[in-house]
Chains A and B, each alone.
Chain A
Amino acid sequence: QVQLQESGPGLVKPSETLSLTCAVSGYSITTAFYWAWIRQSPGRGLEWIGSVDHTGITFYTSSLKSRVTISIDTSRNHFSLSLRSVTAEDTAMYYCARRIRGDGDHWYFDVWGRGTLITVSS
Chain B
Amino acid sequence: DIQMTQSPSSLSAYVGDRVTITCRASHDVGNHVAWFQQKPGKAPTTLIYGASRLEGGVPSRFSGSGSGTDFSLTITSLQPEDFATYYCQQHIKYPLDFGGGTRVEIK
Binding site for B on A (CB under 8 A): 36, 45-48, 51, 59, 61-62, 95, 99, 102-104, 106-115
Contacts and interface: CB of A to CB of B under 8 A. Distances in A.
Contact of A106 (B43, B44, B91, B95): B91
Nearest to A4: B43
B98 A45 contact: yes
B44 A46 contact: yes
Chain B interface residue number, banded: 20 to 34
A106 B97 contact: no
B101 A45 contact: yes
Nearest to B101: A45
A36 B97 CA distance: 13
Contacts of B87: 45-46
30 contacts: A36-B96, A45-B87, A45-B98, A45-B101, A46-B44, A47-B98, A48-B95, A51-B94, A51-B96, A59-B94, A61-B94, A62-B1, A62-B95, A95-B44, A102-B53, A103-B53, A104-B31, A104-B50, A106-B31, A106-B49, A106-B53, A106-B91, A108-B34, A108-B49, A109-B44, A110-B46, A110-B49, A110-B55, A112-B44, A114-B43
Nearest to A63: B95
A46 B98 contact: yes
B97 to A, nearest CB: 7
Contacts of B50: 102-104, 106, 108
A106 B94 contact: no
Contacts of B55: 110
**Nearest 9 A/B pairs, CB to CB:** A108-B49, A106-B50, A46-B98, A48-B96, A112-B43, A61-B95, A108-B91, A108-B34, A104-B50
